[in-house]
A = this chain, B = another copy of it.
Amino acid sequence: QDKYAQGFGLGSVNPDLASERQTASFSVERLTTVLDGGAEHTRVRRAVGTYLQGLETTAVFDTTTQEFILNTPKISAMKWWPGDMGRSATHTVVFAQLYVHGKCYGVHPFIVQIRSLRDHSLCPGITAGDIGPKMNFEHIDNGYLMLQNVRIPRENMLNKFCEVQPDGTYVRRGSQKINYFTMTTLRVSLLSDEVILPLMKACTIAIRYSAVRRQSKLNPGEEEAKILDYQTQQEKLLPQLAAAYAFHFINNYLHKLFDRGYKEIQERNFSSLPELHASSSGFKAMLSQYCTAGVEICLRACGGHGYSLLSGLPSLYTKILASCIYEGENTILLLQTARFLIKCFAAASAGQPVPQSVTYLAAVKPGKCPAKNKLDFLNPDIYVEAYQHTAIRLLSSTAAKLQDLIQSGVKKHEAWNQCTVQLVQAAKAHCHYITVKNFVETVEKLENKAGIQKIMKHLCDLYALHGIFSNAGLFLHDGYISGAQMDMITASYLDLLGVIRKDAVPLVDAFDFTDKSLNSALGSYDGNVYQRLYEWAQKSPTNQQISPAYEKYLRPLLHNKLSKL
C-alpha cells in the first residue's frame, strides 16, 4: 500500500502545474501588484434590520414619559435573520415606523436592549430566538425578534440626520433619503470579500485542478489530456476567470465613486445619493448573480470531486448564494437601478444634465456595427460601442413600451409591473456596459507594464466577447450585430480561450491565496490533488472506527445467514 504514498510526495509541486507556471507570458509578481493596488476594503458586518419600505414595526413617541413604545403588530412582521441576534446580542438596532402625535414619519433606527446584562434572559416584552439551520452560516446565530410594548428612552433613536425633540417636534437635517445610505454603502463594501473573492477562489481551485486532472485522449496515441486542454472545459472556466478580473476592477471603480460621494455627504451635499443608490443596487445584483453562477460552474467543472466538501467548492457556493438575497433581493435592486435609468433617460433625451455614469444615454445611436472580420472584434472601441448601443436600445424600447401602456389607459403602477422583465434586462445591460468600459480603461492605464497589459487585454477581450456570445439575442435583435458578425465574434471568442489557457494557472496564482484560505484538496498550490484527497479522506471521522451500523444491523444479518449455510 506504500506505493500509493509515492508518486506525488507532498511538498514538491506537481510537474503539470510547474510547467504551467514556467511557460507563463508574464510575471505573476507584477500582476499581483496590480491586483493589490485597489481601494482598501473594509470587512463586512451584517446589518441588523432588514430593508423594507413596508416595514410594520412601530415606534410611537410618548411625550409624557419621553419614551418610544415599540410594537411588532403580527407574526408575519417579525424580524427574521439579523445576525448574532438569535442567542448572543444584548442590544440591537431596530428599524421601525416612527409615529409622533399620530403622524407617521417613516422608517427610523432605534437602539433596543433585548437581553439582560445580568443573566442574559430576554427583557420584558421581547420574544427572540434562533431561526434554526440555514444553507451555510452555521456559525452565526441569525435570530427572530418580536416586540410588545417595549419602551426605550428618547435618546435611543439614532439622530445624526433627524431627531424627535422633547415636545414631539420632528427635526430633519439633510435628505430624507439618507436612510438608504447605510444599505447603499454596505452593498458596495460586501462585494470584494463576499462576492468577488469567492469567485477568485473557485477559479483558483478549478483551474489548478484542471491542469492536473487528465481524462481521455485528445489525440490517439498520446497520453490522456489535461482537462484544461478541452475547449468545453476552457469555455466553462476561463470566462469566470476573466469575470473575476473584470469585477475586481469594477469594485475599485465603485469604491472611488463612493469615496467621492461620502465626502460630499459629509459636507451635507446629498446630490449624488440617487446615482450611488442605483450603482450599488445594480452592481450588487449583477455581481452576486454572476459570481454565484460562476462558483457553481467551477464546482461542476471539477466533476464528482467538486461535489466533495474536501474540494472547498460546496461551502464557497452555499455561502455566496446568500449574497443574491441579503442586503436587498437582486430583482428588486435591479428595478431600483432601472427606475433611476428611466429617469435619467428622460432627462438626457430632453437635454438636461445627468450624472456622469449615464451621460452615454444621450449619445447618438449608430446604425450598425462596423466590424469587418474577427480581428476587428478585438478592438475595444468596437465592442464597447456594441454594449453601449444595446444598453441604450433596451432602455429606450422599454421606456417606449411603458409610455405606450400609460397612454393607452393602463394605470402607472400596473404599466410599470408589465415592463419589469424588460426593465431588469435593461438594468443588467447598463451594468454590463459600465463593467466592460471600466475594464478597457483599466487596461489602458497599464501602459507602463507591457507584459501585464497584454494578458489583461486578452482577459478584457474575453470578458467582452463572452458576454456578447452568451447574450447574442440582445445584440442581434435590431441587426446592430449581424449573424455573420456573430460568427466572427464566436470565432474570436473561441480563439481567445486557447490564448488565455496558456496563462491560466499563473493568472489564478496571482490572486495569491494561501492553501489554508483555499482549504481545498483540489486547489492547493502544489497540485498534489490525489495524494491530498486520499489523505484528507482517511482523516474523516467515519474512517476512525468500524461503522456502528455493522454491529447493530449488518453483523446480525450476515451471521444469521451464515449460520444457516
Contacts and interface: CB of A to CB of B under 8 A. Distances in A.
A129 B537 contact: yes
A351 interface: no
A141 B549 CA distance: 11
Nearest to A490: B422
Interface string A127-155: 10111111100000100101010000000
A81 B132 CA distance: 31
A542 B304 contact: no
A459 B133 CA distance: 35
Interface residues of A, number: 112
A546 interface: yes
Given A90-B558, A216-B54, A538 B129 contact: yes
10 contacts: A80-B305, A117-B562, A120-B554, A132-B310, A132-B542, A132-B543, A299-B321, A318-B318, A471-B473, A473-B476
B554 A88 contact: yes
B314 A76 contact: no
Interface stretch (A30-38, A94-102, A324-332, A359-367): A324-332
Interface of A: 1, 3-4, 7-8, 52-54, 74-76, 78, 80-81, 86-88, 90, 117-118, 120, 127, 129-135, 141, 144, 146, 148, 215-220, 224, 229-233, 235-236, 296, 299-300, 303-310, 314, 318, 321-322, 324-326, 329-331, 335, 411, 413-414, 417-422, 424, 471-479, 483, 486, 490, 494, 529-531, 533-534, 536-540, 542-543, 546-547, 549-550, 554-555, 558, 562
3 nearest A-B residue pairs (beta carbon): A472-B473, A132-B540, A87-B547
Given A420-B230, A421-B231, A546 B87 contact: yes
A144 B307 contact: no
Contacts of A148: 1
Contact of A75 (B4, B215, B418, B562): B4
Given A130-B542, A231-B421, A558-B117, A88 B549 contact: yes
Nearest to A553: B88
Contacts of A1: 127, 146, 148
